[in-house]
């Protein structure tokens, strides 16, 4: 195709298209496996909220009607849940949508965003689309937040600063006091986007939370998602809480029907499903203990996890991931600067058992390869239950 190179906006050719992991279908075909355990995308091992499923069923009969473009019912529920006004709530097609909307609203070419590194890649994507510059501030020792480093990275071109707590992929969290310290030092033009996708899995008393005081700061945007705790990743719903002035501009670039009607109803129902929420949290707490004690017993370095996943140092992460795939377990690797770490999403008890047994086998294989022995053929048995979800 001639000429297209000259027609596209500057910078578009430098954006790397998102490469999702193999779907479980592709994986099964490639390795000849009947079932795979999907522990690579921080999804909810218990599946979707049963109340959400009922709401979805009821909504199917009216799919010929457009959704409420203002998502009023869902926003009312969220406002009540968080004790804020409905004008402080914006919902999106996943919180990914809101990150892109914030980028489109605030970023000009040459503007800067400040992000911790490593962190969630969507922040950088939003900047790349708008030709803004990404200033990465490495996390400190133990992948703890370096708030003075973040403060130092801010210039008069900084428009957005992202804080992800607990952070994906490290699982470390930001202390509330440290966030306040940082806010005190930031100029008025910096919007601070606090991504709390995993915050409800943490019970650290000193963790960052969105107090009314924090939300009254016109620079603060807090992001939440229905993809993790509520088990609705496939529906795509997220929301942000911020000063109504922020949303008054973001609304201008939002697609008029950015959240479909099934998603709106399902999310509203999921928010009320206290049983599903409590069970999901409980499973994560137990999984955390299981993985940490396994890591300790096997001398594997694990980062204390505050989300529904754990980052572990297993040596060559790409190799480990491929060996685990052959054994029917999908985990995630390939994070910038983390060549030796894999991120494993917590599954059900049975899935965790199976995953750790396979990991043990794979790490044993490493020792074998290192001593130049031929790799043996490993036989294994799949657990009784496995999550079957496509996509990323």
Ligand X SMILES: *Cc1c(COP(=O)(O)O)cnc(C)c1O
Residue ranges in contact with ligand X by CB under 6 A: 42, 94-96, 120, 164, 168, 195, 197, 225, 227-228, 233, 238
Helices (H) and strands (E) in the chain, counts: 14, 12
In the complex, least distance from residue 299 CB atom to ligand X, rounded to whole angstroms: 29
Extract long-range pairs of 50-56: CB within 8 Å, 24+ residues apart: 50/273, 50/276, 51/269, 51/270, 51/272, 51/273, 51/276, 52/230, 52/231, 52/232, 52/266, 52/267, 52/269, 52/270, 52/273, 53/266, 54/269, 55/265, 55/266, 55/268, 55/269, 56/262, 56/265, 56/266
Nearest to ligand X of 195, 273 (CB atom)? 195
Nearer to ligand X, 94 or 126 (CB): 94
Q: Taking the complex as a whole, how short is the minimal distance between the CB of residue 228 and ligand X, in angstroms?
A: 6
State the residue for tokens 């969290």: 173
Structure tokens at 25: 């279908």
Residue 95 CB, nearest distance to ligand X (Å)?
Answer: 4
Smallest distance from the beta carbon of 307 to ligand X, in angstroms?
A: 8
Q: Are 127 and 113 in contact (CB under 8 A)?
A: yes
Instruction: Name the minimum Å distance from CB 306 to ligand X.
Output: 12
Looking at residue 156, the DSSP 8-state letter turns out to be T
CB-nearer residue toward ligand X: 312 or 362: 312
Which residue has the CB atom at the shortest distance from ligand X?
Answer: 94
Q: Which is nearer to ligand X, 164 or 295 (CB)?
A: 164
Rounded CA-CA distance 216/88 in Å is: 10
Nearer to ligand X, 164 or 325 (CB): 164
Q: Which is nearer to ligand X, 122 or 352 (CB)?
A: 122
Q: How far is the CB of 101 from ligand X (least distance, A)?
A: 12
Q: Which residues lie below 8 Å from residue 191, measured CB to CB, with a gap of 6+?
A: 102, 106, 159, 160, 161, 219, 220, 221, 246
Q: How many Å apart are CA 299 and CA 310, to the nearest integer?
A: 15
Q: How far is the CB of 47 from ligand X (least distance, A)?
A: 16
Task: Tell me whether residue 193 or residue 324 sits nearer to ligand X (CB atom).
Answer: 193
DSSP string spanning 102-148?
HHHHHPPTT-EEEEEES--THHHHHHHHTTPEEEEEE--GGG---HH
In whole angstroms, the minimum distance from the beta carbon of 90 to ligand X comes to 13
Nearer to ligand X, 96 or 111 (CB): 96
Sequence-distant (≥ 6) Cβ neighbours of residue 145 within 8 angstroms? 116, 139, 163, 165, 167, 172, 174, 175, 178
Q: Answer whether the bond into residue 166 is a cis peptide, omega within 30°.
A: yes
Nearer to ligand X, 337 or 364 (CB): 337
Min dist CB 50 to ligand X, Å, is: 20
């Amino acid at each position: 195709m001639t000429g297209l190179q000259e027609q596209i906006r500057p910078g578009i050719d430098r954006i790397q298209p998102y490469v999702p992991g193999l779907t479980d279908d592709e994986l099964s075909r490639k390795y000849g496996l009947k079932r795979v355990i999907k522990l690579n995308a921080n999804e909810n091992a218990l599946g979707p909220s049963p109340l959400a499923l009922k709401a979805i069923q009821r909504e199917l009969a009216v799919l010929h009607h457009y959704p409420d473009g203002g998502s009023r019912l869902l926003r009312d529920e969220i406002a009540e849940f968080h004790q804020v006004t409905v004008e402080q709530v914006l919902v999106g097609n996943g919180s990914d949508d809101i990150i892109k909307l914030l980028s489109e609203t605030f970023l000009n070419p040459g503007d800067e965003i400040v992000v911790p590194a490593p962190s969630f890649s969507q922040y950088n994507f939003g900047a790349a689309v708008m030709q803004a510059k990404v200033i990465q501030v490495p996390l400190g020792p133990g992948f703890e937040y370096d708030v003075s480093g973040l403060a130092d990275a801010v210039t008069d071109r900084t428009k957005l600063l992202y804080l992800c707590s607990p952070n994906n992929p490290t699982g470390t969290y930001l202390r509330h006091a440290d966030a306040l310290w940082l806010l005190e030092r930031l100029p008025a033009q910096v919007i601070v986007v606090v991504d709390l996708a995993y915050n409800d899995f943490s019970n650290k008393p000193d963790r960052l939370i969105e107090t009314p005081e924090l939300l009254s700061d016109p620079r603060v945007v807090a992001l939440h998602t229905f993809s993790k705790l509520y088990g609705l990743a496939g529906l795509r719903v997220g929301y942000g809480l911020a000063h109504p002035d922020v949303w008054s501009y973001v609304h201008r670039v939002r697609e008029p029907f950015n959240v479909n009607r099934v998603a709106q109803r399902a999310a509203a129902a999921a928010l009320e499903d206290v049983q599903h929420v409590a069970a999901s949290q409980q499973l994560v707490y137990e999984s955390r203990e299981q993985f940490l004690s396994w890591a300790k017993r096997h001398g594997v370095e694990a980062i204390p996890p505050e989300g529904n996943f754990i980052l572990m140092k297993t040596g060559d992460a790409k190799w480990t991931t491929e060996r685990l795939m052959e054994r029917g377990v999908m985990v995630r690797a390939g994070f910038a600067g983390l060549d030796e770490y894999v991120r494993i999403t917590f599954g059900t008890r049975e899935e965790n058992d199976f995953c750790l047994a396979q990991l043990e086998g794979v790490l044993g294989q490493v020792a074998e390869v290192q001593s130049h022995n031929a790799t043996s053929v490993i036989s294994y048995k799949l657990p009784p239950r496995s999550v079957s979800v496509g996509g990323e």
